[in-house]
């Protein structure tokens, strides 16, 4: 086995190592990188499940997915090779330090300069910095980003050329299109020193337009960027998506009047007017699922719940039941009340915990830690009763200001989120409540309209594995 090392400090450290120690270090390094790639692949697999080729940027994301999958497989093969080395095997450490950069100056003269730093980024890219001490006198300073090609003198004078069109900075490396001032413009990619990656559109050096990024901290984000700020994914609404509604007593009571629901003729006719939405064709969508409020706290019951539940089932709708969380009683008490008063039958949608406390209410009950402890109580008790994880209904504001303080809930539970804007929420969704002022034929009042996060194949997978057992 031959290991090529260029950094002097690393070289000095490894010279004194035994082969067993060196191989162990290599295995640890590759294993860490492999786990990082598995996290990335998990994010990309989730994207693939809930999107299809009709979504903007799908092919670009899936191409990146393919490269990361191949890289993961390659590292696995390297790990298999390293783990097969026996301690008594001889390990030869060789060094290659002779590099030079060849580029054209402003007068079309080819200039050759020695390099003192080499950094591997990907198999196809090398980042090199030139040594000012070796630069010929009278030659203008030329940054490495203007290099036309790199010639590498490797072990035993093996030479290979690499096309070079990179723009490094202190934080990472960009490659792609530029404007006249040599700033990123048009389509390009950026690989940060910490491993964060972005591919998409740029304008005047900033991410601007459609693109996707992936990082350990933020996960995968696809959608529109404006002046380096991620705004979100714009969904295209069409009859191919799966829509549902959620109802309570307010779909029956308008002022002092009481209205019945025409269950035989429910059709979505409007997605509300709070935000602009991209719609393909006319809005005339079937209602595929219905969530009905059952309880609130430990004393409040929706008087229409049982009748609406029976009618929804009788007309062939997929039905789920939700509970409105109160900060005044414990999660354990509320779970017991919810289970006692609700219809939680096999084949129904997972139960939902609706969490909408104000900041003042959270402070009054003792803060975020107390809030999440009670939420966990409710979720655990209801999951044991139903045999399926409940869904957590929260607002975008709650996600922004509170959910990061409960990473276990963020990671382990599907989210149904209320966000009344044009951009899709930046969390792992089960359902998105996209408006509170939609219109449904057969219901007199305005209605909350929801869209399932995925197309038909993912919806069928949800019905197969996520319903009450």
Residue pLDDT, tens place only, 56-73: 999 999 999 999 999 999
Residue 215 CA to residue 429 CA, distance in Å, equals: 18
The two tokens of residue 248 are 């309570």
Determine the pLDDT at residue 284.
Answer: 97
In this structure, the number of other CB atoms found within 10 A of the CB of residue 27 comes to 15
3-state SS assignment for residue 270:
strand
Q: Is the pLDDT of residue 152 over 60?
A: no
**Torsion, CA 459, CA 461, CA 467, CA 469, rounded to 10:** 160
Tell me the CATH number at 268: 3.20.20.80
Residue pLDDT, tens place only, 257-300: 999 999 999 999 999 999 889 999 999 999 999 999 999 999 99
Q: Are residues 203 and 275 in the same domain?
A: no
Determine the pLDDT at residue 136.
Answer: 38
Q: Is the pLDDT of residue 160 over 90?
A: no
Residue pLDDT, tens place only, 341-350: 999 999 999 9
Q: Are 41 and 109 in contact (CB under 8 A)?
A: no
Determine the pLDDT at residue 84.
Answer: 79
Residue pLDDT, tens place only, 104-136: 444 455 444 444 444 444 333 334 444 444 443
Q: Give the burial string for 39-61 (b: 16+ CB within 10 Å, else e).
A: ebeebbebbeebbeeebbbeebb
Q: Are residues 161 and 195 in the same domain?
A: yes
In sequence order, the β-bridge partners of residue 357 are none
- Mean pLDDT of all residues belonging to the chain: 83
Look at residue 230 and tell me if it is in a domain. Answer: no
Q: Are residues 458 and 383 in the same domain?
A: yes
**Torsion, CA 14, CA 15, CA 21, CA 24, rounded to 10:** 40
Q: Are residues 23 and 145 in the same domain?
A: no
Q: Which of 60, 79, 94 is the last residue of a domain?
A: 94
Determine the pLDDT at residue 230.
Answer: 95
Residue 219 CA to residue 453 CA, distance in Å, equals: 17
Determine the pLDDT at residue 422.
Answer: 83
For residue 318, what is the DSSP state? E
Number of domains making up the chain: 3
| Long-range Cβ pairs for the range 326-330 (8 Å, 24+) | 326/296, 326/297, 326/298, 327/357, 327/361, 327/362, 327/364, 327/365, 327/371, 328/297, 328/365, 329/297, 329/298, 330/374, 330/377
- Work out the widest C-alpha separation in the chain, in whole angstroms: 91
The two tokens of residue 379 are 């979720």
Look at residue 229 and tell me if it is in a domain. Answer: no
**CA-based nearest residue to 187, from 196, 178, 195, 320:** 178
Look at residue 270 and tell me if it is in a domain. Answer: yes
Percent of the chain predicted with pLDDT > 90 = 64
Global confidence as pTM: 0.77
Residue 217 CA to residue 196 CA, distance in Å, equals: 9
Distance between start and end Cα atoms, the chain? 54
Q: Are 338 and 295 in contact (CB under 8 A)?
A: yes
Q: Is the pLDDT of residue 427 over 50?
A: yes
Strand (E) or helix (H) holding 409: helix 407-412
Determine the pLDDT at residue 132.
Answer: 41
Residue 232 CA to residue 432 CA, distance in Å, equals: 13
Instruction: Please report which confidence band the pLDDT of residue 445 belongs to, taking 50, 70 and 90 as the band edges.
Output: very high
* CA atoms within a 13 Å half-sphere pointing along the CA-CB vector of 330: 5
Q: Is the pLDDT of residue 89 over 80?
A: no
Q: Is the pLDDT of residue 437 over 70?
A: yes
Look at residue 23 and tell me if it is in a domain. Answer: yes
Look at residue 460 and tell me if it is in a domain. Answer: yes
Q: Are residues 32 and 113 in the same domain?
A: no
Q: Is the pLDDT of residue 215 over 50?
A: yes
Return the higher-pLDDT residue of 147 and 190: 190
3-state SS assignment for residue 194:
coil
User: Can you tell me the mean pLDDT for 11-18?
Assistant: 52
Q: Is the pLDDT of residue 198 over 80?
A: yes
The two tokens of residue 396 are 């975008």
CA 81, 86, 92, 95 dihedral sign is positive
Q: Are residues 428 and 375 in the same domain?
A: yes
Q: Which of 161, 191, 218 is the last residue of a domain?
A: 218
Q: Are residues 266 and 331 in the same domain?
A: yes
Residue pLDDT, tens place only, 312-343: 999 999 999 999 999 999 999 999 999 999 99
Q: Are residues 165 and 247 in the same domain?
A: no
Beta strands in 157-205 (DSSP E): 159-163, 166-168, 172-178, 184-192, 197-203
Q: Which of 191, 218, 245 is the last residue of a domain?
A: 218
Which of 35-39, 349-353, 365-369 is predicted with the least confidence, judged by mean pLDDT? 35-39
Residue span of the structural domain in which 204 resides: 99-218
Residue pLDDT, tens place only, 218-269: 889 999 999 999 999 998 999 999 999 999 999 999 999 999 999 999 999 9
Q: Is the pLDDT of residue 421 over 80?
A: yes
Q: Is the pLDDT of residue 433 over 80?
A: yes
Q: Name residues whose C-beta falls within 8 Å of residue 199's C-beta, 6 or more positions apart in sequence.
A: 60, 64, 187, 188, 189, 190, 211, 212, 213
Residue 148 CA to residue 155 CA, distance in Å, equals: 23
Q: Are residues 387 and 240 in the same domain?
A: yes
């Amino acid at each position: 086995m031959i290991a090529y090392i260029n950094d002097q400090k690393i070289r000095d450290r490894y010279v004194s190592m035994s082969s067993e120690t060196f191989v162990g270090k290599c295995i640890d390094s590759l294993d860490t990188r492999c786990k990082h790639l598995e996290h990335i692949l998990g994010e990309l697999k989730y994207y693939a499940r809930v999107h299809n080729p009709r979504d903007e940027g799908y092919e670009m994301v899936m191409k990146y997915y393919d490269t990361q999958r191949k890289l993961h497989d390659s590292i696995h093969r390297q790990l298999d090779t390293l783990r097969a080395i026996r301690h008594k095997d001889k390990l030869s450490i060789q060094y290659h330090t002779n590099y030079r950069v060849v580029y054209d100056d402003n007068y079309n003269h080819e200039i050759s300069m020695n390099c003192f730093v080499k950094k591997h980024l990907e198999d196809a890219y090398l980042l090199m910095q030139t040594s000012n001490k070796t630069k010929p006198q009278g030659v203008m300073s030329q940054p490495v980003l203007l290099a036309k090609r790199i010639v590498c003198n490797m072990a035993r004078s093996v030479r290979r050329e690499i096309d070079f069109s990179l723009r490094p900075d202190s934080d990472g490396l960009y490659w792609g299109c530029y404007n006249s001032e040599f700033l990123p413009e048009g389509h390009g990619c950026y690989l940060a020193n910490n491993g964060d990656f972005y591919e998409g559109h740029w304008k005047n050096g900033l991410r601007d337009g459609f693109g996707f990024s992936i990082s350990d901290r933020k996960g995968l984000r696809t959608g529109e960027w404006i002046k380096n700020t991620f705004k979100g994914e714009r969904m295209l609404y069409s009859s191919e998506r799966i829509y549902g509604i959620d109802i309570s007593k307010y779909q029956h009571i308008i002022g002092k009047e009481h209205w019945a629901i025409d269950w035989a003729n429910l059709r979505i006719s409007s997605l509300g007017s709070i935000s602009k939405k991209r719609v393909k064709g006319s809005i005339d969508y079937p209602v595929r699922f219905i969530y009905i409020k059952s309880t609130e706290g430990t004393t409040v019951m929706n008087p229409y719940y049982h009748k609406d539940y029976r009618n929804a089932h009788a007309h062939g709708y997929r039905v789920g039941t939700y509970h409105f969380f109160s900060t005044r009683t414990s999660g354990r008490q509320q779970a017991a009340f919810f289970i006692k008063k609700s219809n939680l039958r096999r084949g129904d949608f997972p139960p939902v915990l609706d969490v909408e406390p104000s900041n003042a209410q959270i402070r009054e009950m003792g803060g975020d830690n107390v809030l999440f402890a009670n939420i966990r109580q409710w979720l655990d008790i209801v999951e044991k009763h139903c045999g399926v994880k409940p869904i957590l209904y929260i607002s975008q504001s709650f996600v922004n200001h509170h959910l990061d303080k409960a990473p276990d809930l963020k990671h382990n539970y599907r989210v149904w989120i209320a966000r009344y804007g044009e951009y899709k929420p930046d969390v792992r969704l089960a359902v998105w409540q996209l408006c509170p002022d939609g219109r449904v034929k057969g219901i007199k009042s305005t209605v909350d309209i929801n869209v399932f996060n995925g197309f038909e194949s993912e919806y069928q997978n949800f019905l197969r594995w996520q319903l009450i057992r």
